[in-house]
Amino acid sequence: MPRERIMETARTVYRRYGYSPIDTPALEYLEILTGKGSEETDRQLYRFEDHGGRQVGMRFDLTVPLARFAAQHIGSLGVPFKRYHIAPVWRGENTQAGRYREFYQCDFDSIGTDSVVADIETALVIHDLLREIGIQRFTIKINNRQILSGLLEKLELSQLTVPVLRALDKLDKIGKAAVAEEMQATAGLTNEQANQVLKLADIAGSMSDVLDCISELVRGSPLGEQGADRLRQIVNALRTSGISEECYRIDVSVARGLDYYTGVIFETLLDDLPSIGSICSGGRYDNLAELYTKQHLPGIGASLGLDRLLAAMETLKLIAPTRTPAPVLVAFFDKERLADYLALARVIRSAGIGAELFPEPKKLGQQLKYADARGFQVAVIAGSQELDNGTCQVKDLANKSSVEVAWREHADGFLQAIRNVLANG
Amino acid sequence: MPRERIMETARTVYRRYGYSPIDTPALEYLEILTGKGSEETDRQLYRFEDHGGRQVGMRFDLTVPLARFAAQHIGSLGVPFKRYHIAPVWRGENTQAGRYREFYQCDFDSIGTDSVVADIETALVIHDLLREIGIQRFTIKINNRQILSGLLEKLELSQLTVPVLRALDKLDKIGKAAVAEEMQATAGLTNEQANQVLKLADIAGSMSDVLDCISELVRGSPLGEQGADRLRQIVNALRTSGISEECYRIDVSVARGLDYYTGVIFETLLDDLPSIGSICSGGRYDNLAELYTKQHLPGIGASLGLDRLLAAMETLKLIAPTRTPAPVLVAFFDKERLADYLALARVIRSAGIGAELFPEPKKLGQQLKYADARGFQVAVIAGSQELDNGTCQVKDLANKSSVEVAWREHADGFLQAIRNVLANG
């Protein structure tokens, strides 16, 4: 149920901002997927030949299929095209355990606009989503890849963006010294150049200090200056939108593992469990769709990692105990009176209240044990005598009290008795 | 949106009867899937070797994975275990077209009970689900495999159940004569035996005539008599539950293609488009889980075929025109006033009304064209002058009328103006 509740919340928040649902197939032609994410996603792809002899793969994220879909259909879709997609993705690993590498992502994206409005809305949606899920303490880390690109432009290292990014992405895990070493070993930077790039990791202070430092660092690079300016617009808008400043910060060392990002990027950490990693990530990918169409089709979006968030909420004890989706159990005793029990359940459901009819005429104790294990709130109990009278017991399973009410004629009192228990629960 | 709305309806109805959501992985070990459905599902399986060298397949339905899951976890789950699952399944075919064979099923199942209550509830859920989706004219065809099994028992042909079933399953497509021929050619029945079996297809008349004919046909076979008795209980319960008799009928020629059914089976046809085939099918599969556990673990459930239903609804023009999930478009004109536009959108959303901010400062005509194409109901329009005054235009996009209202202070009138338009839409 917490999984369903979070998906439901995501749908509600996404729709409120004008994102429509779409669905793309789990399988894509292999060439659509390869070379789009990273060396790692290429390696982890589940791939096979289908019954028509075509090479296909299972999607490793929802962004690449969206870009393919948008590129193919943008003529009829029109822009801006805002969509959300809640679905599983697959990343195979050579593990011994029997667990498959399938996990759910809850994505939302805007296609076809370069506007900073889409960048800002992405941050607002991440914020609203986490708040409505019930997460109070989180930090959206915001960066713009143009900062690093601008810095590399200044250092005349633009062609090394990918290996530098990949090294920088390991900063949290292996630390500055090891990243500097990797930049020299795999990207061929000098020690001095690596230290220049790693200045990014030292930027700290108040929001305006950070913004000033960044502007200073990229001054002279048009790309870098544009990136710094956009970062400034985003944080200004978050501030004027009344988002608490504890919920976001600029972190120019955030790299994101995927190659396709070109502009702003987001990662979201739980303040009480940062070690689990980002639970909502995304960014701007202005060139991805161009791999499938000649049209310029910028995109931006983010993805809630449902399984990781659920694992974190479990650790943080933020998950409410499981409850059955129907709060009322109708106990069943007498096979000959099945029609009456069905009628009883139907009266409850007709009032919009979920009711489950126990399927076997077992002893009351066994049925109440089932009710407790499943988290039912109300048991409706009627033996043959009560069925003859058109009455039943409405039992509050939390405090064990019961009332006898009529249900067959004038069911109002019966339904009210159930509602009273549910209101207390 | 119609797809989302149907899934939403399915979730609501399933929960009302006490089914809980679960999710099983798309990939299963190959041996879990093979030999469970039919020769056809075996042939159509998407299969490959994963990164750990294991043979895996993509599920071809949601029932087989559920049986595997229940067998594995029933100790901790307890019975009855009622669950629903809305997810894609895959059946590969050697087609030339670029379309993959992926489609959604909306399943609900009860595991761990032999009770006829579960059979009856399955029919009730199918009925309620279709009604709430908005389908008025449909027929649930009900059969029980025990009738055929009983008849074959009497004819001493029990070991030929599978080939006889497969022949019978083609009755609608190829007719009685061809089915009789197939029964002789592939199952080795005599002409006389084939005609005996095909008597099933001739049973007709009122509900009680049909029930009497069936009882007569299987008399002497305990299995057949049990099946006939259960059919009688089901239709009696549907009648006393007030389900219109136009919504269901007994059809003992219904076979269902899948091998795992053992008892009652359901198919649901649209009265106005029967040719599209069954849109909601299922039945009792009391032995399926025993392929994965020694425990007796009977099951029953049904599955709404979402993609087929959507195709049918499109043909029958039952699908409402697409509407954006957020009904209000906030037009955007002046980049310098972005904070004001963001605030305006936020006021609307805070009242629980979806609002999309157009991301580019384009001409009003272009923005209204977008609003029309996407099915927005309201446009909120404010230039710099109006923003200075804290006012805006609320435009009803259907009848083109506008009112000017204040939004920054005392937003009540503003929100009421929006609600008035939405109430008319």
Q: Residue A202 maps to which CATH number? A: 3.30.930.10
C-alpha dist (Å) from residue B236 to B86, B217, B249, B279, B419: 30, 20, 12, 24, 47
Count the alpha carbons within 13 Å of A168 in the hemisphere toward its beta carbon. Answer: 29
Query: Residue B99: which pLDDT band, with cuts at 50, 70 and 90?
Result: very low
B293 in a domain, yes or no? yes
Q: Residue B332 maps to which CATH number? A: 3.40.50.800
3-state secondary structure chain A: CHHHHHHHHHHHHHHHCCCEECCCCCEEEHHHHCCCCCHHHHHHCCEEECCCCCEEEECCCCHHHHHHHHHHHHHHHCCCEEEEEEEEEECCCCCCCCCCCEEEEEEEEEECCCCHHHHHHHHHHHHHHHHHHCCCCEEEEEEEHHHHHHHHHHCCCHHHHHHHHHHHCCHHHHHHHHHHHHHHHHHCCCHHHHHHHHHHHHCCCCHHHHHHHHHHHHCCCHHHHHHHHHHHHHHHHHHHCCCCHHHEEECCCCCCCCCCCCCEEEEEEECCCHHHCCCEEEEECCCCHHHCCCCCCCEEEEEEEHHHHHHHHHHCCCCCCCCCCCCEEECCCCHHHHHHHHHHHHHHHHCCCCEEECCCCCCHHHHHHHHHHHCCCEEEECCHHHHHHCEEEEEECCCCCEEEEECCCCCHHHHHHHHHHHHHC
Q: What is the pLDDT of residue A96?
A: 45
B379 in a domain, yes or no? yes
B73 SS3 class: helix
Taking residues B117-122, report their average pLDDT: 96
Task: Tell me if chain B has a CB within 8 Å of the CB of A370.
Answer: yes
Domain boundary, last residue among A258, A283, A315: A315
The encoded tokens of residue B406 equal: 């204040």
Q: Do A93 and B51 touch (CB under 8 A)?
A: yes
* Exposure letters A395-422 (e unless 16+ CB within 10 A, then b): bbbeeeeeeebebeeebeebbebbeebe
The encoded tokens of residue B316 equal: 């029958």
A80 cis-preceded (ω within 30 degrees of 0): yes
Whether A228 and A332 share a structural domain? no
C-alpha dist (Å) from residue B230 to B146, B225, B284: 10, 9, 12
What are B318-361's pLDDT values in tens digits?
A: 987 777 889 999 999 999 999 999 999 999 999 999 999 999 99
Q: In chain A, what percentage of residues exceed pLDDT 70? A: 98
Q: Do A100 and B27 touch (CB under 8 A)?
A: yes
Whether A62 and A202 share a structural domain? yes
Whether A180 and A302 share a structural domain? yes
Task: Give me the number of domains chain B comprises.
Answer: 2
Domain boundary, last residue among A260, A288, A315: A315
Q: Do A360 and B15 touch (CB under 8 A)?
A: no
The encoded tokens of residue B231 equal: 């059919």
Query: Residue B408: which pLDDT band, with cuts at 50, 70 and 90?
Result: very high
Count the alpha carbons within 13 Å of A402 in the hemisphere toward its beta carbon. Answer: 11
Q: Is 80 exceeded by the pLDDT of residue B147?
A: yes
Its domain, for residue A223, covers 2-315
Q: Select the residue of B44, B78, B341 nearest A373 (Cβ to Cβ).
A: B78
The encoded tokens of residue A26 equal: 């789990």
Q: Report the distance separating Cα A399 and Cα B73, nearest Å.
A: 31
Whether A106 and A232 share a structural domain? yes
Whether B364 and B286 share a structural domain? no
Q: Do B27 and A324 touch (CB under 8 A)?
A: no
Least confident of B13-17, B42-46, B285-289, B365-369: B285-289
The encoded tokens of residue B209 equal: 């005539």
A388 in a domain, yes or no? yes
B95 contacts in chain A (CB < 8 Å)? 51-52
Whether B89 and B131 share a structural domain? yes
C-alpha dist (Å) from residue B34 to A47, A185, A287, B43, B105: 20, 50, 43, 9, 19
List the 216-255 stretch of B: residues with Cβ below 8 A of A. 233, 236-237, 240-242
Q: Is 50 exceeded by the pLDDT of residue B97?
A: no
A236 contacts in chain B (CB < 8 Å)? 339
Tell me which of B49, B50, B101, B109 to substitute to probe the interface with A (most A C-beta atoms closer than 10 Å): B50
Query: Residue B100: which pLDDT band, with cuts at 50, 70 and 90?
Result: low
Whether A361 and A298 share a structural domain? no
Q: Report the distance separating Cα B276 and Cα B296, nearest Å.
A: 36
Q: What is the pLDDT of residue B288?
A: 87
B125 in a domain, yes or no? yes
Taking residues B294-308, report their average pLDDT: 93
Q: What is the pLDDT of residue A55?
A: 95
Q: Select the residue of A19, A120, A233 nearest B325 (Cβ to Cβ).
A: A19
Taking residues B402-407, report their average pLDDT: 97
Q: Do B326 and A18 touch (CB under 8 A)?
A: yes
DSSP 8-state assignment for residue B26: S
Q: What is the pLDDT of residue A95?
A: 55
Residue ranges in chain A whose pLDDT is less than 70: 1, 94-100
Whether A89 and A168 share a structural domain? yes
Whether B337 and B416 share a structural domain? yes
Q: What is the pLDDT of residue B113?
A: 95
What are A153-205's pLDDT values in tens digits?
A: 999 998 888 889 888 888 888 999 999 999 999 889 999 999 999 988 889 89
Q: What is the pLDDT of residue B49?
A: 93
Whether A360 and A289 share a structural domain? no
Identify any residues that bridge with B265 across adjacent strands, giving them in sequence order.
B143, B283
- The mean predicted confidence, pLDDT, of chain B is 92
How many CB atoms sit inside 10 A of residue A107's CB? 24
Q: In chain B, what percentage of residues exceed pLDDT 90? A: 78
B182 in a domain, yes or no? no
Q: What is the pLDDT of residue B251?
A: 93
Instruction: Give the residue from chain B lying closest to A326, CA to CA.
Output: B18
Instruction: Give the residue from chain A lying closest to B334, CA to CA.
Output: A117
C-alpha dist (Å) from residue A306 to A272, A303, A412, B24: 17, 9, 41, 15
A157 in a domain, yes or no? yes
- The mean predicted confidence, pLDDT, of chain A is 92
pTM: 0.89
Residue type, B258: L
What are A120-158's pLDDT values in tens digits?
A: 999 999 999 999 999 999 999 999 999 999 999 999 998
Whether A68 and A34 share a structural domain? yes
A321 in a domain, yes or no? no
Tell me which of B5, B6, B20, B340 to substitute to probe the interface with A (most A C-beta atoms closer than 10 Å): B20
Q: Measure B198 CA to nearest chain A CA, in Å.
A: 34
Count the alpha carbons within 13 Å of B333 in the hemisphere toward its beta carbon. Answer: 13
What are B225-236's pLDDT values in tens digits?
A: 999 999 999 999
Which residues are CB-neighbours of A188 under 8 A, at least 6 positions away? A160
Q: At what angle do helices B207-218 and B222-240 cross, to 10 degrees?
A: 170
Pick the closest to residue A256 from A27, A34, A63 (CA basis): A63
Taking residues B140-160, report their average pLDDT: 93
Q: Measure A274 CA to nearest chain B CA, in Å.
A: 27
A245 in a domain, yes or no? yes
Are A223 and A146 spatial neighbours (Cβ–Cβ below 8 Å)?
yes
Whether A114 and A75 share a structural domain? yes
